């Protein structure tokens, strides 16, 4: 079953990445290279998931995939040329 809200899933991954980046920076400031390296590895995994296409772009799968043509009159007069 695919995620019905890919944008929400992508946002969740981004929030997880942000949290891990903050934790990694705290670990570095506290001199814990081991923790910082472990967190960097976790961040890399999440970046890979985000970039690998696991998450579809927002709006993917909506409609038939064909371009949209809008036929309408302009809302007001054209702006004068300077």
pLDDT in tens, the chain (82 residues): 565 577 788 888 999 999 999 999 999 999 999 999 999 999 999 999 888 755 444 444 444 444 445 555 555 555 566 5
Buried b (16+ CB within 10 A) or exposed e, 71-80: eeeeeeeeee
Pick the closest to residue 13 from 54, 41, 59 (CA basis).
Answer: 54
Neighbours of 59 (CB within 10 A): 9
Q: Tell if the pTM clears 0.75, that is, is over it.
A: no
Tokens of 68: 């949209």
């Amino acid at each position: 079953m695919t995620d019905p809200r890919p944008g929400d899933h992508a946002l969740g991954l981004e929030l997880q990445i942000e949290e891990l980046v903050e934790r990694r920076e705290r670990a570095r400031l506290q001199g814990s290279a081991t923790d910082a390296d472990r967190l960097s590895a976790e961040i890399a995994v999440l970046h890979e998931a985000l970039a690998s296409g696991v998450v579809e772009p927002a709006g993917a799968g909506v409609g038939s995939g064909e371009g949209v043509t809008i036929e309408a009159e302009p809302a007001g007069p054209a702006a004068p040329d300077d």
